[in-house]
Chains A and B, each alone.
Chain A
Amino acid sequence: MTDMLSHTARDTSRGPVPGTAPRPRRGTPLPYALLVPAVLALAVALGYPLVRQVVLSMQDFGLAQQFGRPPEFVGAENYRQLVADGYLWRVTLRSIAFCLVNAVLTMAIGVGLALLMRHMSRGVRLLVQTGLLLAWAMPVVASLTVWQWLFDTQYGVVNYVLTGLGLDYEGHGWLLRPLSFFFVATVIVVWMSVPFVAFTVYAALTQLPEELVEAAEIDGAGATSRFRHVVLPTIRPVLLVVGLLQVIWDLRVFTQIYILQEAGGSARDTNLLGTYIYRLGIGGGEFGMSAAVAIFMLALTVVLTAPYVRAMLRQEGET
């Protein structure tokens, strides 16, 4: 598995070296023709909506427009309203807090497991990898239903076990209070995200030159300083990219929150950016306003994505 990992990684990064592999004639229109279908699909399904959304975010487009009234151009009015609205800021802060808590927990558990895996017996390591792979492969909606069932108020295993431990959890409704709601959401998101981190970081650790660790040990470096000066520098690029991906993914979390809200959480007290946009626009018909929130969310993502794209492009520049 790790073999496959590093192989493809290398294949992608190498590509034919210019000069050794003669390329077909330069300046032919053929490559452009080959790109047409993909570019067209992306332009229609993503490019056009993006432009349209910018326009929409500057229009007064609410329920009246649904019934045929032409939308009116209002400039930055939607944005002005949103900025003045305390609720958007609450949702934004909530999203960022949720994102950071989940990303930090996922990284801590994932990296911890990856480090521990090197010290496990073969059999246990195989067991862990099998378990992680299963959790990783579970479809989002399927894992959501199972976790809801585990946290069920009446017949859920979690309440049963906690009550058995002498705590008062009989008939405890996990989704009713916002903090408890987000606790359940965090358990689900972290459970689903840890495998990717653990596998990727473990793969990076296998590339660690063993002689280096040994040499450091002979030189009298303790476990902590070995980790700081030998292990960490080797896996730092991987940690950076994986951590960044976690932040980006956890900022946009939608399915988990939406389904838990439908299962009994209060939407207003638990909305994150994604569900807020959905409920404002598709739920409430306020398309102008929800488009403005969506643009705001895109801007937030772009800021976070820039370092990831730069890291991915470093290799592209080498070609």
Chain B
Amino acid sequence: MSRPTRPALRATANTLGVLAFLLSVFPVYWMVNSSFLARNEIRSPTPTWVPFGGDLDNYRTVFATDQFLDALQVSLMVTGLTIVVALLFAFVAAVAVSRFRFRGRLTFIVTLLVIQMIPVEGLFISQYKMLKAMDLLNTVVGLTLVYVAGVLPFTIWTLRGFVAGVPYELEEAAMMDGCSRVQAFFRVTLPLLAPGLVATGVFGFIQAWNEFTLALVVMTREDQRTLPLWLSTFTDVNRGTDWGGIMAGSTLIAIPVIVFFLVVQGRMVSGLTSGAVKG
């Protein structure tokens, strides 16, 4: 352990720590709590703090509607397609950037960094017009196209680090033992890259699964909505808001993300700040 902390300082730090914990956890807790409550408990002047006697009615309501299942289907297709295509494209690009030295390499890397900072809000107008001209509005392919471009820079950037982490000598040794370069790559390098591929794949999943802005722009038809769009239309001023149903829907959407997020969280930080954290 490091230096002893003065008791007064420790007590203050602990108090503020517990406060920070409560503030960060409460909304998540409230989402889950409300999702189990009946309508009369939700619409009551005094909140119900713990879901004793709660049931799964809200979840049943969510699954009973076609809208949720439709949105789930669209979300799964777009997310799956985005991950597969982005990983494939990013992987070969990462190999090029970290295994070869060539003219334009640095330019490519700089371009990636710059692209990563482009706000979609500054580009979605013309992306909308382009997809419209290509007849790809309201299609899984159209949304996937803009999603792939959105996650590629970060994915290449991160995979590059993983590919560089596998020593080239290993491949060379395999080649001396009689493997061709392609064989050496698939038998030696690829298995070592599996963790990196999983991490970046999960990153792509979280991005595509949560994305709202581009989905709003591209998927204008109700039957092509993704899950975040479906959830956002739940809260409509004109209808009486069914908070129990919304919270059940939110919980359903959040669970896979939270689970996956815990898996890759460390890598997401490092990808964004590796320039500052000197090795």
Interface contact B156-A138, CB-CB below 8 Å? no
Distance, CA A40 to CA B216, complexed state (A): 25
Chain A 206-250 interface mask (CB, 8 Å, partner B; 1/0): 010010011001000000000000000000011011100100100
For the A-B complex, the count of residue pairs with Cβ-Cβ distances under 8 Å equals 398
* Residues on the B chain within 8 Å of A194, using CB: 24
**Contact yes or no, B96 A35, CB < 8 A:** yes
Is the pair B127, A191 in contact by a Cβ cutoff of 8 Å? no
Contact A53 to B123, CB < 8 A, known contacts A5-B266, A8-B271, A12-B160:
yes
A298 touches B265 (CB 8 A): no
Could you tell me the distance between the alpha carbons of A32 and B251 in the complex, rounded to whole angstroms? Answer: 45
- Once bound together, how far apart are the Cα atoms of A269 and B115, in whole Å? 31
Q: Which residues of A contact B160 (CB under 8 A)?
A: 12
CB distance from B195 to the nearest CB of A (A): 10
The answer to whether A8 touches B161, judged by C-beta atoms less than 8 angstroms apart, is: yes
Within 166-196 of B, Cβ neighbours of A (below 8 Å) are at 167-169, 172, 181
Q: Given that A37-B88, A120-B14 are contacting pairs, would A263 and B47 also be in contact in the complex, using a CB cutoff of 8 Å? A: no
Contacts A124-B18, A141-B231, A309-B113 given; does A240 touch B276 at CB 8 Å = yes
Asked whether B59 is an interface residue with its Cβ less than 8 Å from the other chain, the reply is no
8 Å CB interface, A1-18 against B: 1-16, 18
Given contacts A12-B158, A141-B228, A160-B47, contact A37 B125 (CB under 8 A): no
Closest to B101 in A: A23
Q: A56-B125, A282-B217 are in contact. Are A10 and B113 (CB under 8 A)?
A: no
B25 lies within 8 A of A131 (CB) = yes
**Secondary structure type dominating chain B contacts:** helix
Number of B interface residues at 8 Å Cβ cutoff, please give it.
124
Interface presence of B140 (CB below 8 A)? no
User: Which of B85, B118, B121, B269 has the largest count of A CB atoms less than 10 A from its CB?
Assistant: B121
How far, in angstroms, from A100 to B105 measured CA to CA in the complex?
35
Do the beta carbons of B110 and A191 come within 8 Å of each other?
no
Interface of chain A, main secondary structure? helix
B106 within 8 A of partner (CB): yes
Query: Does residue A254 face the partner (Cβ distance < 8 Å to B)?
Result: yes
Do B279 and A9 have beta carbons less than 8 Å apart? yes
Instruction: Indicate if the CB atoms of B213 and A254 lie closer than 8 Å.
Output: yes
Counting chain A residues whose Cβ lies within 8 A of the other chain, the interface size class is: 35 or more
Q: How far is the CA of A117 from the CA of B24 in the complex (A)?
A: 15
User: What is the CA–CA distance of A267 and B9 in the complex, to the nearest angstrom?
Assistant: 46
B64 close to chain A: CB less than 8 A: no
C-alpha spacing A188/B28, complex, angstroms: 13
In the complex, A87→B169 CA distance in Å? 61
Does A140 reach chain B (CB closer than 8 Å)?
yes
Interface residue from B30, B119, B165 paired with A274 (Cβ < 8 Å)? B119
A309 vs chain B, min Cβ distance (A): 5
Question: Which of B100, B231, B246 has a CB less than 8 Å from the CB of A30?
Answer: B100
Q: Mark B131-162, 1 if CB is under 8 A from A, else 0.
A: 00000000000000110111011001110111
A95 to chain B: closest CB distance in Å?
Answer: 10
Query: How far apart sit A13 and B277, CA to CA, in the bound complex (Å)?
Result: 9
Asked if A180 CB lies within 8 Å of chain B CBs, one says no
Query: How long is the Cα–Cα vector from A3 to B162 in the complex, in angstroms?
Result: 16
Complex-state Cα separation, A281 to B126, whole angstroms: 10
16 contacts between A and B (CB under 8 A): A4-B270, A13-B277, A22-B168, A35-B96, A120-B10, A128-B17, A131-B24, A137-B257, A145-B231, A149-B246, A248-B119, A262-B232, A281-B125, A294-B122, A298-B118, A313-B113
Q: Contacts A52-B130, A142-B253 known; list 19 others, CB within 8 Å.
A: A12-B161, A13-B279, A18-B101, A27-B102, A34-B92, A38-B152, A38-B156, A53-B123, A113-B16, A124-B18, A124-B21, A130-B21, A136-B265, A137-B258, A139-B253, A200-B269, A204-B277, A262-B237, A278-B121
